[in-house]
Amino acid sequence: MGEVEVGRGGPHILLSAGCLFHLPLKLVARMGREAGFAGMELIMNSPKLTPEAGLGAIHDILPIRSLHAPFRDWAAWGGHLNAWKATTALANSLPEADHIVMHPPGSRLANMIQNRWFEKAVDLPLLLDAKGRIRFSLENMPWAEGSPFGRDPLDKLMAQCRDKNVGLTFDVCHMGVSGRDVLHAIDRVPLDLLYNVHFSDAVGYTEHLAPGRGALPLDAFLERLGKRGYAGYITLELEPGAFPDDAEGTVHMLTTLRRHMEARLTTGQRD
């Protein structure tokens, strides 16, 4: 695909369908393939995305390797648990899908009452009827500054991942807008727990900017991943407004970003 070989075993750079959610999914897949991405992370934004929805044609253009479980309007699926089960059923039907990223249920009282099952769950892949190839991960969300006497949110999330038999999706911009040092934070995540990285820039409280448009040390971040031998997914996850209005300009921008990401990863591997 790309001119720079990151390594046959990974990491693999994916394009989040959310980057261009306003466009037809088939067009997004074609752009991702032309730009050299290894696959797509599909956003579950509609209950109509089922194993019978004809996604095989999309997969043939750009492999759907990862799915992002619904993160709003769970009632449309019949609740949080059913939304995750629907995502798992779709992943089971896609031949190269082997990962699902999920937002942990919220901590508001209403969410806690509705999602008491999550607190009791100890093996999410088993609970959600996943095929053996499919792994799950919980994503770090933006955190407010916590109490100096409370448990660090990243430590708490990693313990939760271990407890639920899942991995971690490390969202760089979420960590950045939370006021955390992203380099120090990624160093604290054990490699065996890190399944996916959501990659974008941020400044202040503005998230999902194109790399270089924010204030995060993204080159150093990628080099650090390469040096550690990370072999999972790195998913480009930008806001649609980050891209030009025309298809040619969008593909050019995607290609440039993908090449730069690969170059920084391989720089870290050589050091």
Query: What is d(CA 204, CA 215) in angstroms, rounded to the nearest whole number?
Result: 8
pLDDT tens, position by position, 3-25: 434 445 679 999 999 999 999 99
Report the pLDDT value the prediction gives residue 146, as an integer from 0 to 100: 57
Does 1 score more than 50 pLDDT? no
**Phi, psi (rounded to 5 degrees) for 160:** -65, -40
Beta bridge partners of 171: 198
What are the DSSP E strand ranges found in the chain? 12-16, 39-43, 64-68, 99-102, 135-139, 167-171, 194-199, 201-203, 206-209, 233-236
Q: What is the pTM of this model?
A: 0.93
Report the pLDDT value the prediction gives residue 149, as an integer from 0 to 100: 55
DSSP of 114-171, one letter per residue?
HTHHHHH-S-HHHHTT--TT-EEEEEPPP-PPPPTTSPPHHHHHHHHHHHHT-EEEEE
129 burial class (0-12, 13-18, 19+ CB within 10 angstroms)?
exposed
Does 266 score more than 70 pLDDT? yes
pLDDT tens, position by position, 204-252: 999 999 999 999 999 999 999 999 999 999 999 999 999 999 999 999 9
CB-based burial, 191-207: b 16+ in 10 Å, e otherwise: eeebbbbbbbbbeeeeb
Does 113 score more than 90 pLDDT? no
Structure-block tokens of residue 112: 């806690």
All structural domains of the chain: 12-270 (3.20.20.150)
Does 28 score more than 60 pLDDT? yes
Does 77 score more than 60 pLDDT? yes
Give, as one character, the DSSP assignment of residue 104: P
> Kindly report the CA angle at 164 between 52 and 188, in degrees rounded to 5?
115
pLDDT tens, position by position, 125-159: 999 999 999 999 999 999 876 555 567 899 999 99
- In one letter, which amino acid is 29? A
- In one letter, which amino acid is 94? L
Residue appearing with tokens 């040096």? 227
**Average pLDDT estimate for 41-66:** 94
Report the pLDDT value the prediction gives residue 219, as an integer from 0 to 100: 98
Report the pLDDT value the prediction gives residue 3, as an integer from 0 to 100: 42
